[in-house]
């Protein structure tokens, strides 16, 4: 049912699933009827032929079996050879389907086998294996795409090859592609020279050895020496994907803050990092990182408009659901989806990086503007979040709404990233559909009761479950089942600490001290594993003080 709850389906898929559920329900009802009524009637040998059960019936070629079924009140089709002794009660002619019924065969087919008059190929219970396989293939093939997909030739995108060594300034931008590179100015002794060791070119303000300096040049040098350290040493802020910043709007568990903080500042990755959902820090205000409130409000307003489509595209195979880079998310949140310049030829002098960025920008506009038919940003638009209408003023002033949207981005990214990393660590992408769904059910117990791998998006109208309380906080003991599921998932990964592996069966009996040590070790292991595989910080689960009524 998760397939229909989260992903729109074509009519034939809905009908196939409904028919499958109907047959499964009838099968279960038949088993209940057998256990509660039929077994008692058969055991007592009482005559119940006049008390016919409301069931489809049975068929057999054994006369004694047919008699026993008849005495138990079960309609029976007795298969026997045609002889002169066979009494014909009624002759029934075949009738065509009603005129208002469709004559188009359903897809997938609901029949188990070809027409078989003996019924041997369509015995009750034999349909389950074939139908289950068909339904799994048709309905359960949806899943998250890989977070990182290597190119066929193993090369990096043109943008990353050209801007090797650049440092992201971290400024906001509405353009697609990686952020504009900023090269830090260092002292001459720190300049990286070329392979043939050419000396760095002296700056105009520096004089050659032995050359006298004028008083004006000395004054400029002294002034620059006094102000230089404060200018040159002030490196641009590190992107939140590579360094942890505390949020002003949502609350993280202490263990997550500590684990993310211990990572420190990660180096610039060789490939653009990607996110399944909008990076929460694009919608948030972070301690120690400057932000533009007006641009953040626009991001929040537009996010309310495109959020539903972004949820659908994650799991719908008919839509391009690949994770997006930070620059692509910035462009999507900025909301410029016009396709007027799509056919404009590229400038003849355009470099490879510029051409690559232009192609990515047009692809993203095609995704949101053409495929999703979403309009460009309009300050007068009134999208909805749950049952709440979101205006431009709400995006700027409604703190409760902002907290909810940021927490939702945290939770969705966290669930998707856990599923993706688990699939990478246990190599489940090559498993059968049934095996993969069994594993994803196990992972989904980390944040809920356990459903499927499609349960990666929190329900808007459902109460939020927080699973990361620590002793002696209120309700920490209720988090044991979720921690046990988390530990069971991690214990299948290579390099899992022995303390975490051994705690999978003992976590429900641990006291406050053991519980805290296990959850701390488990979160540390998850964070370090994620960083080693994807080259960025993971998105942690987050909560807000009070669950808002939205």
pLDDT at 534: 94
Higher pLDDT, 59 or 275: 275
542 closest CA partner among 247, 258, 257, 251: 251
Does the pLDDT value for residue 492 go beyond 70? yes
Identify the top-confidence range among 89-98, 158-167, 279-288, 423-432. Answer: 279-288
What residues contact 9, with CB distance under 8 A and at least 6 apart? Answer: 3, 17, 139
As a whole-number percent, the residues of the chain with pLDDT over 70 amount to 71
Across the range 478-505, mean pLDDT stands at: 92
364-375 pLDDT, tens digit per residue, is 888 898 888 899
Contact between 305 and 385 under an 8 Å Cβ cutoff? The reply is: no
Across the range 243-259, mean pLDDT stands at: 95
Could you identify the residue written with the tokens 């899992």? 496
pLDDT at 45: 76
25-34, 344-353, 398-407, 446-455 — which is least confidently predicted? 344-353
Task: Give the C-alpha separation, 149 to 178, whole Å.
Answer: 18
Give CA angle at 288 (283, 293), nearest 5°: 35
91-100, 136-145, 277-286, 302-311 — which is least confidently predicted? 136-145
191-226 pLDDT, tens digit per residue, is 333 333 333 434 444 444 445 556 666 666 676 666
Higher pLDDT, 481 or 221: 481
pLDDT at 92: 84
401-427 pLDDT, tens digit per residue, is 999 999 999 999 999 999 999 999 999
pLDDT at 166: 40
What residues contact 415, with CB distance under 8 A and at least 6 apart? Answer: 444, 447, 455, 456, 457
Mean pLDDT (the chain, rounded): 78
Higher pLDDT, 26 or 304: 304
Q: Is the pTM of this model over 0.75?
A: no
Does the pLDDT value for residue 521 go beyond 90? yes
């Amino acid at each position: 049912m998760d397939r229909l709850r989260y992903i729109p389906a074509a009519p034939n898929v809905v009908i196939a699933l409904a028919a499958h559920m109907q047959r499964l329900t009838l099968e279960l009802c038949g088993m209940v009827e057998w256990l509660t009524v039929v077994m008692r009637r058969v055991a007592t040998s009482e005559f119940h032929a006049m008390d016919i059960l409301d069931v489809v019936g049975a068929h057999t070629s054994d006369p004694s079996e047919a008699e026993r079924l008849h005495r138990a009140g079960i309609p029976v089709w007795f298969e026997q050879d045609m002889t002169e002794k066979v009494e014909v009660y009624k002759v029934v002619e075949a009738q065509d389907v009603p005129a208002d019924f469709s004559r188009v065969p359903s897809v997938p087919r609901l029949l188990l086998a070809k027409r078989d008059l003996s019924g041997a190929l369509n015995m009750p219970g034999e349909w389950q294996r074939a139908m289950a396989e068909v339904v799994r293939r048709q309905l359960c093939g949806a899943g998250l795409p890989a977070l990182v997909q290597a190119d066929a030739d193993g090369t990096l995108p043109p943008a990353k090859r050209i801007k090797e060594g650049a440092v992201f300034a971290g400024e906001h931008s509405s353009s697609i592609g990686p952020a504009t590179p900023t090269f830090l100015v260092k002292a001459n002794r720190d300049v990286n020279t070329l392979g043939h060791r050419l000396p760095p070119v002296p700056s105009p303000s520096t004089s050659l050895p032995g050359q006298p300096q004028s008083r004006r040049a000395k004054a400029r040098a002294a002034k620059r020496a006094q102000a230089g350290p404060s200018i040159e040493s002030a490196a641009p802020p590190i992107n939140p994907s590579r360094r942890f910043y505390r949020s002003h709007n949502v609350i993280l568990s202490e263990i997550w803050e500590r684990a993310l903080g211990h990572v420190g500042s990660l180096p610039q990755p060789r490939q653009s990092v990607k996110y399944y959902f909008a990076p929460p820090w694009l919608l948030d205000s972070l301690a120690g990182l400057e932000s533009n409130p007006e641009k953040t409000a626009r991001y929040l307003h537009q996010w309310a408009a495109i959020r539903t489509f972004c949820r659908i595209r994650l799991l719908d195979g008919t839509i391009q659901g690949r994770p997006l880079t930070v620059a692509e998310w910035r462009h999507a949140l900025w909301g410029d989806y016009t396709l007027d310049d799509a056919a404009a030829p590229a400038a003849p002098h355009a470099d490879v990086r510029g051409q690559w960025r232009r192609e990515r920008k047009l692809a993203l506009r095609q995704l949101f503007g053409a495929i999703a038919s979403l309009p460009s940003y309009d300050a007068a638009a009134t999208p909805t979040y749950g049952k709440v209408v979101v205006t431009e003023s709400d995006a700027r002033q409604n703190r409760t709404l902002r907290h909810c949207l940021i927490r939702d981005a945290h939770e969705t990214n966290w669930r998707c990233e856990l599923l993706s990393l688990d699939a990478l660590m246990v190599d489940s992408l090559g498993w059968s559909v049934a095996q993969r769904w069994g594993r994803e059910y196990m992972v989904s117990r980390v944040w809920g009761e356990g459903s499927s791998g499609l349960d990666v998006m929190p329900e808007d109208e459902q109460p939020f479950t927080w699973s990361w309380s620590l002793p002696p906080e209120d309700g920490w003991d209720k988090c044991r089942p979720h921690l046990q599921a988390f530990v069971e998932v991690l214990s299948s990964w290579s390099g899992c600490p022995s303390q975490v592996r051994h705690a999978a069966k003992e976590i429900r009996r641990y006291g406050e001290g053991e519980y805290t040590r296990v959850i701390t070790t488990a979160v540390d292991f998850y964070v370090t594993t994620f960083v080693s595989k994807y080259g960025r910080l993971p998105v942690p689960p987050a909560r807000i003080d009070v669950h808002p009524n939205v």
